[in-house]
Each structure stands twice: as structure tokens, then as C-alpha cells.
Chain A
């Protein structure tokens, strides 16, 4: 079979899905790691080829079993989700390349096989959510992602990983129910599940109460999954208690994929402007996003654990993204996508560096990490530069995304939101300073630790270079964000 783009789209999901049972059968730690890295590399390459082909616009479609829409399941790749697939593949590869020593320390050898199975299923699920054009199929992939995520968190080294995973499971299941109700209403209204077909059929019935309720349920369900304040309850414990590799992966991808799903449904499937008016959602979302920024940043300030500090900061950063997306304008969406891209890079780097500290000291408690900047200078430097990115200081990519977000907010006349942006950045400066002060200025506690092994340094170091690189030369992420915003607003 020739490898046409429409076959490559299927490969994207089929490769990790196929490698997962292989991992289970082999059940050897090293072989599992090799297999999952191989799968992640294949997915990344496939996604890069597809995204490069779509750079000038257009879409790639695949109809499963040759069933024409709206009967069969269709996959659809365009300027919005092709780059997202690249990011999913890339971060999974990066985290896998980084994580072997950390995994060996945190997990018993007999559990590593299962770990890689779950990781591959998670990868397949996220890519599926990104690719599919069938709304029920999207739900199934959301569940594949979530179920494997619960297991990944439960495998954490801490005794408190289990309650964290249980809490995540409860909140995730409630979210799944809400998403299902939304899908059920839309199905009852249109009698179709194909998202392109559904959009056409929804034309006349957009304003009915059923459609509005469906949208409300989908927003609450997906909002729980992407942890918008006040539905963020699961996030801090999960990021703190999961194995370091999983925390880094989730910080980079988990919430972003669900945010994408919500955007796809609200902007491209439904008439977002109409529904936003009906539910006053622009006001609701910007108030929630503003509250997320303030709450997340203030909560991060009082944390005594590095990972939970970063987790609360993630809640704040999700607020910025939602702030951009809630504008529904071209510049708002562009700023949101740019923020998504840069924040995934910055937060993943921070969690990888935090993983390095955990590998050497066995804990992420700030009090135990005092003065480690001198024993682990490279890791501490990475944390410092990525921390600058979190605040939004030059020359990092964080500045570019905040700059564009502020521009989009000003353009829409949202002065209070700009104020929140500045306050949030000030608070971010405080909690990043707290982290850096502990690492560099506090007296060492007499640890005899050495710098992390080379692969665990190279990956985050490379990403730090990217943070600075995209700060100085931001044309590439900007072009992607612009294309994605255009494709969302003017669906082909």
C-alpha cells in the first residue's frame, strides 16, 4: 500500500495502539522502553511529514473501510491538529529519551512493562483525539487517554499517588458523563456523528435549547479535563504524585489536547458566537480564567513542594490560554495557540528539571532542595531560564506569548483582563524567585549529590535553548498559531 497522507493519518494512531500489546507480551523494562521510544519516534516523523504537507492549507481525510461520510468514521487533519500531533509525538519522544534513569529509580522493574503499555495507550489516545472527525470516536479516544492516565498516575512512587489517581478517576468519570450527555443531545438533534456533517445539519437548530444544553455539558465536561478554575481539583495532586516522567508529559500535553477538543467542538462544530451570547460565556470564561490566573499564582506562592508549585502555576497558565480563546477573535485564537505552544515547552522543561532534582535527592520538597544550585548547576540553570519564561521575561518565548495575548486583549477592549495578566506575571515572578532563591541562595543542607546523568541533562538543555530560540525568533510558532486560528475560524 503506498504511503499516501490518508494512510499516514491512520498510522499515527495505529502505531502506538499496535505497539502497546507488543510491550505487554515482551514485559521487559528495557525492551518496553525501546518499543515505546520507537513508536513515539515513528509518530513524530509521520506527524512532521503530514504537517509539512499541510503547511499551505488543505486537509487530509481518511474514511475507515471506505465508508463515505456521514456513515463511517473519518479522520481529518488540517492546519490546527497536524501541528498538535507533531507536538504530541515530539514531547512523548523527549520525555522518553529523558526518563530511563528516573523510571528505573521510581518504578520496580516488573512494573515498567505495564508503564510503557499505559504510556503508549495514552499517546494513541491523544493522537486519536487530535485526528478524529467523529464525535463519538473522539469520546472513545478521550476515555482511552484518561483510563491510561489514571493507571500512569497510580504507578507513582509516593504512597499518596493512589488517592491522587482515585480523585483523578472520579473527576474524569464525571467529566466523561458530561461529555457523553452533550454528545447524546447533539446526536438526538442531528442524527449524525460526523463532525463536518453535524455542522451542516446544526445550521437551523443552533439556537434550540437542546443545542445550548449540549454545548454547556460539553464545556463543563471538557473544562474538567483541561482543569479550568474551579474544576481544577484533580490537577495539583496528579502532577505532584505521578512519576516524574508522567508529570512532565501531562504538563506538556494532557490539558492542551482537551482544550483543543473543546475548541474544535465549540468553534468549528457549533456556532460559537451564537452560543457564547446565549450563555454569556465570554464573560463567564474570562472571569473564570482571571480567577484561575490569580488563584493559581497565589496558591503556587505558598507551596512547599517544587512540583506542586509548578502544578498550581499550570492552573494559572491554563487561565491565560482560556482568556485568549474566549475572545473568539482571530488575534485571540492566535494568542491562545501561541501560548499553548510556548507553555507546553516551558512547563515540560521545568518538570524535567524538577525530575532531575527528584532523581538525585528523592524529594521535591523545597526545604530539602536548598543550595542545590551549586551541586547541580546545569539543572538549576535550566530551571532558572525556564522560570524566566514562566514569568514572561526576555529573552524567552514566554514574553512573546504574553505580548501577543496582551495585544489581543487590548484589541478587544478587555482592560481588566490585561490588568490580571500583569498581576499574574508579577505573582509568577514572586514564586519563580522563591524557587530560585532556594536553589541558589539558601545554604546547602550538606547533601552529597552530583549532577544528573547526561541524557537527563541534554533533553531539557535542548528545550531551554528552544525556549530562548523561540523568544528571539518567534516566526515559526507565530506562523503555526496564525494558520491554526485561520483554519478554525474559516473551516473548509
Chain B
């Protein structure tokens, strides 16, 4: 069995990205799943960064991953905070309900 190279990790990253995009479009039930998809999308980007950094033998790419993780955490925190207030007010996390409120 061959040793996984940068291409394998890039393909893995691309697959994760596709799953998250599919999740964003297909999911109509649960807003938390939307947040998870966003998180997965950022993780797939991280995978790219780490693969590149390893391939180039440069640690900078891995340092960026830490920055990106921090930003992703901040985003999720804000998203969850909005959700909590929304649930308190509307008692629902259904995406369809959000669309009704939209506009």
C-alpha cells in the first residue's frame, strides 16, 4: 500500500468541501446542521493548508490553521448565539421557518 501523498489529502479536502456544500443546499430541517456544514467547509480548507505546508516543508501553513480555527470558532459562537436567541423567541430551528421570517 502506498504512503498517502499531498494529492490524497487534497482530494480528502475537496470531498469534505463537497459534502459541506451539499449539506448547505440539501438540508431544510435544522439550522444547527447548517452551522456544522460551515464548520466542515473551513476544516476542509484547513486540510488543504496542512497538506500544502507539509508538501512545501514550511510550517507557516500550519500556523495559519490555528488562526483559521480561531476565526471558525468565533463564527460558530456568533451563529450559536443567534440560534439560542432565535429558539427563545420562536421555539424553532427549522430552516423553512427561517425562510418565512425572511424579508
Contact = CB atoms under 8 A, between A and B. Distances in A.
A176 interface: yes
A294 to B, nearest CB: 20
A14 interface: no
B78 A143 contact: no
A163 B86 contact: yes
Contact of B83 (A143, A166, A180, A181): A166
A174 B41 contact: yes
A236 interface: yes
Contacts of B98: 163, 166-167
B101 A184 contact: no
Given A136-B64, A188-B56, A173 B42 contact: yes
A173 to B, nearest CB: 4
A144 to B, nearest CB: 9
A184 B52 contact: yes
B52 A187 contact: yes
A21 to B, nearest CB: 16
Contact of B82 (A162, A176, A177, A237): A162
Nearest to A164: B102
The 9 closest A-B pairs by CB, nearest first: A188-B52, A173-B38, A177-B41, A163-B101, A163-B98, A180-B45, A162-B86, A143-B71, A160-B101
Contact of B42 (A136, A176, A236): A176
Contacts of A147: 71, 74-75, 78
* Of listed B45, B49, B83, residue having the most chain A CB within 10 A: B45
Interface string B13-38: 00001000000100000010010001
A308 B103 CA distance: 8
A150 interface: yes
Nearest to A136: B64
A45 interface: no
18 contacts: A136-B64, A136-B67, A140-B67, A143-B74, A147-B75, A150-B82, A160-B101, A160-B102, A162-B82, A173-B75, A176-B75, A177-B38, A180-B68, A187-B49, A191-B58, A193-B60, A237-B102, A308-B103
A132 to B, nearest CB: 14
Nearest to B67: A140
Interface residues of A, number: 32
A170 interface: yes
A151 interface: yes
Interface residues of B, number: 36
A184 B67 contact: no
A232 to B, nearest CB: 13
B37 to A, nearest CB: 9
Contacts of B42: 173, 176-177, 180
B85 interface: yes
A154 B82 contact: yes
Contacts of B103: 160, 236-237, 240, 308
A159 interface: yes
A140 B71 contact: yes
A288 interface: no
A173 B38 CA distance: 7
Interface of A: 136, 140, 143, 147, 150-151, 154, 159-160, 162-167, 169-170, 173-174, 176-177, 180-181, 184, 187-188, 191, 193, 236-237, 240, 308
B61 A187 contact: yes
Contact of A170 (B24, B45, B85): B24
A140 B69 CA distance: 12
B101 A159 contact: yes
B56 A166 contact: no
Given A143-B71, A170-B79, 16 more contacts: A140-B71, A150-B82, A154-B82, A159-B89, A160-B101, A162-B101, A163-B101, A166-B82, A166-B86, A167-B102, A169-B78, A170-B34, A173-B38, A176-B75, A177-B17, A193-B60
Contacts of B102: 160, 163-164, 167, 237
A300 B32 CA distance: 32
A236 B102 CA distance: 10
A136 B79 CA distance: 23
B103 to A, nearest CB: 6
A2 B53 CA distance: 40
A236 to B, nearest CB: 7
Contacts of A170: 24, 34, 38, 79
A176 B85 contact: no
Contacts of B101: 159-160, 162-163
Given A159-B101, A160-B101, A308-B103, A181 B85 contact: no
A150 B78 contact: yes
B95 to A, nearest CB: 10
Contacts of B90: 159
Contacts of A163: 86, 98, 101-102
Nearest to A160: B101
Interface in B43-102: 44-45, 48-49, 52, 55-56, 58, 60-61, 64, 67-68, 71, 74-75, 78-79, 81-83, 85-86, 89-90, 98, 101-102
Contacts of A173: 38, 41-42, 75, 79
A184 B78 CA distance: 25
Contacts of B31: 166
Given A165-B82, A184-B52, A177 B45 contact: yes
